[in-house]
Structure formats: C-alpha cells, structure tokens
Amino acid sequence: MRRILLSILSSIAAVLACVAVVLATIPAQADEGSVGEGSEGPNVSNSSLNTDDNPVILIHGWLGDSWNWTYYENRLARDGFADVYGWDYDHTQDNVRTARQLATYVDQVLEETGADKVDLVTHSMGGLGSRYYIKNLGGVDKVDDWVSIGGPNHGTSIAYACFDRSCKDMRPGSAFLTDLNAGDETPGAVDYTTFWSPCDEVINPDRSVRLDGATNHKTGCVGHVSLLADGATYEGMREAIR
C-alpha cells in the first residue's frame, strides 16, 4: 500500500511540474460543464459578472505554487475581478504557521486595496490553513467568502505516504484536524462553499471535502489537479464569491 501511495505522490508531482505549461495555453473562455448533480446553465463570461468588490486571494495546496491558478486568474480577470492575488507559502510547514502567515498577508491586501474583507479560494491543503485562520486568528471578521476545491477538510489517507509536517496535519484524525473540526466547522458569517469530485485520486475518502454548514457541490468526474482547469468548477466558484 505504501508503495502505491508513493507512486501516486510521484505522479502528482510530475503533473504539477507540467501543469503550468498546460494552464498557460488554455484560453480564458467559458467551458461547458456542470457542477453538482445534473446542474447546467448558460456559460456567460464578461466584465459585468462580478458584483463584489472584495479582493480574491488564491491559495494553492501541497506541492503547489501560485502559478497553479493561471486558468482561474485569467477567467477572473475577464469576469471583472480586479484584485486577484495568488499567494505562495512553504507547503511543507505545519498549517498553523501557514495560517499565521496568511493572517499577515490578508492584512497587507486589505491595506493595499482599502477593502473591508477578502474572498479566499483554496485548492487542496490550502483550505486547512485558511480555515484555521478564520476560526482561530480573527479571519472570521475579515473573510466574506471561503471556497475549498478538493480540500482534505477531514483528512486523506494519501497523507500517510508523506512525512512533511503539513502532511501529518492532513492525516485523518490528526490533532490538527481534530481541533479544526471541533464544534462549528463553518464559524461566523463567512459563506463557505466546497467542491468535491467523485474521481479525486488524492482526497480519500471523497466525502472528506464536505463541511457541515457549507454549500457542498459535487463536480463531474475530474481529477484532483484537473480541478484547477475545469470550467464548470470555476463557474461554480465564481458564483460563490460574487
């Protein structure tokens, strides 16, 4: 089993190494697709779509980098989101430290833009540090919308094959996750949204993504990294932060 998990992790690393090139070649156009079970609507993309002035901070996951968001950044710009920030951090460090660094970064963005609140859009492990920030470090008063795309909110078995401190946090039943999910999983007036895929090869079990109190969406059959270039998932995210 460990050999299989290590093989999967190696494959993910290889995919992430190539995905920047692929994402950079994808035009920022509306794609056909659906989010949820059977939901499908018109694919409209223009500058009038954004009805919210909050800055958007994009937070990558383990092994990730801000360039993972190229596809989303292109489409957000086209859809009228003026202040979009891809945030980088050390994905090997523990998620509490990441949360503290995020708190500082959010304050910098708020000062720079003059906004009162931000929207946080996260992929994979990026959801964990951001949730800790909201719950424990005052983020509940500074975050309007929070989105988790393929996030290990209740852990993932694949984390047993990785020994970074951040990976240990992602293991089901870890002290970090036990504390994070204790009590209200979605505290405050923040709007919480998750997207989970039945074909996610990294988040096991798939239901780990869903949170009590959040709007939880099932995507189509999309792989973990491919969620970053899936048109329907993007459109669902866009609606969540408008």
Of 28-32, 139-143, 151-155, the poorest mean pLDDT is in: 28-32
For residue 57, report the phi and psi dihedrals to the nearest 5 degrees. Answer: -110, 125
Model pLDDT for residues 168-221, shown as the tens digit of each residue:
999 999 999 999 999 999 999 999 999 999 999 999 999 999 999 999 999 999
Q: In percent, how much of the chain has pLDDT > 70?
A: 79
Instruction: Identify each DSSP E strand in 130-210 by its residue range.
Output: 143-149, 191-196
Q: Is the confidence at residue 41, as pLDDT, over 70?
A: no
Q: Closest Cα to residue 84, out of 97, 74, 96?
A: 74
Structure tokens at 221: 């059959």
% of the chain beyond a pLDDT of 90 = 78
pLDDT range class, residue 50, cuts 50, 70, 90: low
Q: Is the pLDDT of residue 12 over 60?
A: no
Residues 6+ apart with CB under 8 A from 111: none
Task: Name the least confident of 23-32, 80-89, 196-205, 224-233.
Answer: 23-32
Is the predicted pLDDT of residue 39 greater than 60, yes or no? Answer: no
**The dihedral of CA 220, 224, 227, 229: what is its sign?**
negative
Fold of the CATH domain 2-25+54-241: Rossmann fold (3.40.50)
Mean pLDDT rounded to a whole number for the chain = 86
Segments making up each domain of the chain, as ranges: 2-25+54-241
Q: How confident is the model at residue 231 (pLDDT cuts 50, 70, 90)?
A: very high
In the predicted model, is pLDDT for residue 15 greater than 90? no
Q: How far apart are CA 222 and CA 242, in angstroms?
A: 24
Q: Nearest 5°: phi and psi at 205?
A: -80, 160
Angle 144-117-143 from CA coordinates, rounded to 5°: 40
pLDDT reported for residue 46: 42
Q: Alpha helices of the chain — where are they, by DSSP H?
A: 2-24, 70-78, 95-113, 126-136, 165-170, 175-180, 231-241
pLDDT in tens, 52-88: 689 999 999 999 999 999 999 999 999 999 999 999 9
